[in-house]
């Protein structure tokens, strides 16, 4: 009994430390805003014939030109500034001059920037030219999975509600949720306490969301099985085990008194009410919050 009480007190302490001060939240907002602008900047160049190394270079230059730092570069030895994950690559793809985008590909571009000490982390999956119906379905399901996860966030909401908003929906669409990689607390550190599972994990910490916490939601969704393998040669590239397609969308959000504030919303997302370059998904955008519009 004592031990349980001790564990609970320790967890509450860690939870409390995840609540950012108003000044820290301002820092997170500035970081998120920059990451959103960077996404729109890179977006312009995501097209057939462009190498992933080119996208990496664009992000690196833009980030340094604005006086900021790419968080991925050198992170646990990661060799580039962004992750680019094509088709069956789930995450952590390494940009390369040998990898050229072509019609029919889907590619996730994952950007993380450190702005005045604060991290902002977001990603989108882009469809290159005409993609198969299956690929489009996967990308749309994944974008909606992220929205559903964000929609579930609010004050005093158990974190497991995010998983519950995502996994049953994804399964109902014939897709699967990757288990090995998750969202995370984010702030002065890239990956902070706590883990944000996108599948309903019986062993997940019973975290309760509080206003001022900042976290990422970043579902990785596969057309086939959820199982993944890491490239043995480069040690980074994560692929689906069965070779099926995988997509991902990510935003950094803050828990507010009423719901969630999307810190990494991009100017184009705010302007068009469209999210994540997925056509046909209409959204209500009020302030920095988005929800799906039924029409
Ligand atoms: N941006 C990824 C995330 O969403 C992490 C990439 S770590 C790297 O958490 F080292 F691969 F860059
Ligand atoms: Co992340
Ligand atoms: Co990321």
Give residue 2's pLDDT. 59
Mean pLDDT value of segment 112-123: 98
Q: State percent of the chain over pLDDT 90.
A: 81
* pLDDT score at 281: 53
pLDDT over 70 at 33, yes or no? yes
**Closest residue by Cα to residue 142 from 108, 93, 102:** 108
Site residues for ligand 1, CB cut-off 6 Å: 72, 75-76, 78, 83, 92, 110, 112, 121, 216, 218, 250
Q: Can you say how many angstroms the Cα of residue 193 is from the centroid of all Cα atoms in its chain?
A: 16
pLDDT value at 282 more than 50: yes
> What is the spatial distance between Cα 62 and Cα 29, in angstroms, rounded to a whole number?
19
Mean pLDDT value of segment 223-239:
98
Does the pLDDT at position 187 exceed 80?
A: yes
Atom index in ligand 1 nearest the CA of residue 72 equals 12
Which ligand 1 atom sits closest to the C-alpha of 75? 10
- Ion ligand 2 neighbours (CB, 5 A) are 121, 216
Residue 218 CA: which ligand 1 atom is closest? 4
288 pLDDT higher than 60: no
Ligand nearest to the CA of 238: 1
- Of the pLDDT bands very low, low, confident and very high (cuts 50, 70, 90), residue 295 is very low
- Environment class of residue 269 by beta-carbon count within 10 Å: exposed (0-12), middle (13-18) or buried (19+)? buried
> Cα of 111 to ligand 3 centre, how many Å?
6
Q: Averaged over 186-193, what is the pLDDT?
A: 96
Tell which atom from ligand 1 comes closest to the C-alpha of 250.
4
Average pLDDT over every residue of 202-207: 90
The pLDDT, as a whole number, for residue 86 is: 98
Average pLDDT, integer, range 264-282: 68
CA of 47 to the centre of ligand 2 (A): 24
Structural domains of the chain in order of their starting residue, each with its CATH number: 2-292 (3.90.230.10)
Whether the per-residue pLDDT at 31 is higher than 80: the answer is: yes
Query: What value does the mean pLDDT take over residues 86-109?
Result: 98
pLDDT at 273: 63
Mean pLDDT of 122-132: 95
Q: What are phi and psi of 5, to 5 degrees?
A: -60, -40
Q: How far is CA 63 from the centre of its chain?
A: 19
CB atoms within 10 A of CB 280: 8
Query: Could you tell me whether strands 246-248 and 283-286 are parallel, antiparallel, or unpaired per DSSP bridges?
Result: unpaired
Which of 121, 178, 195, 251 to mutate for ligand 1's pocket (most ligand atoms within 8 Å of CB)? 121
Taking the centre of ligand 2 as the mean of its atom positions, its distance from the CA of residue 184, in whole angstroms, is 6
pLDDT surpassing 70 at residue 277: no
Using the predicted structure, report yes or no on whether residue 30 has a pLDDT greater than 70. yes
What's the chain's average pLDDT? 91
For the segment 141-168, the average pLDDT, to the nearest whole number, is 94
SS3 144: helix
Pocket test for ligand 1, best of 56, 79, 90, 112 (most atoms within 8 A of CB): 112
Ligand 1 probe mutation, 78, 198, 236, 248, most atoms within 8 A of CB = 78
Pairing of strands 214-217, 238-240: unpaired
| pLDDT for residue 6 | 73
Q: How far apart are CA 229 and CA 239, in angstroms?
A: 5
Higher-pLDDT residue of 206, 83: 83
pLDDT digits (tens, 9 = 90+) for 37-57: 999 999 999 999 999 999 999
């Amino acid at each position: 009994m004592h031990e349980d009480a001790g564990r609970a007190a320790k967890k509450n302490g860690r939870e409390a430390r995840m609540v950012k001060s108003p000044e820290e939240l301002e820092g997170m907002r500035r970081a998120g805003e920059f990451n959103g602008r960077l996404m729109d900047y890179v977006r312009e160049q995501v097209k057939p014939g462009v190498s992933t190394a080119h996208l990496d270079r664009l992000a690196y230059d833009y980030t340094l030109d604005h006086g900021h730092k790419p968080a991925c570069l050198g992170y646990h030895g990661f060799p580039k500034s962004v992750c680019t994950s094509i088709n069956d690559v789930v995450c952590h793809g390494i940009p390369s001059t040998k990898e050229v985008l072509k019609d029919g590909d889907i590619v996730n571009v994952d950007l993380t920037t450190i702005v005045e000490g604060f991290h902002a982390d977001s990603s989108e999956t882009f469809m290159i030219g005409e993609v198969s119906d299956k690929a489009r379905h996967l990308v749309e399901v994944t974008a909606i999975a992220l929205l559903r996860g964000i929609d579930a966030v609010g004050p005093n909401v158990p974190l497991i509600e995010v998983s519950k908003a995502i996994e049953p929906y994804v399964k109902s669409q014939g897709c699967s949720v990757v288990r090995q990689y998750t969202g995370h607390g984010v702030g002065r550190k890239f990956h902070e306490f706590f883990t944000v599972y996108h599948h309903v994990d019986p062993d997940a910490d019973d975290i309760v969301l509080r206003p001022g916490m900042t976290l990422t939601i970043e579902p990785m969704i596969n057309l086939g099985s959820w199982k993944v393998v890491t490239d043995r040669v480069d040690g980074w590239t994560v692929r689906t085990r069965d070779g099926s397609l995988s997509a991902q969308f990510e935003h950094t959000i803050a828990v507010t008194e009423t719901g969630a504030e999307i810190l990494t919303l991009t100017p184009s997302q705010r302007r068009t009410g469209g999210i994540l370059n997925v056509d046909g998904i209409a959204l209500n955008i009020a302030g920095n919050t988005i929800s799906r519009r039924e029409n």
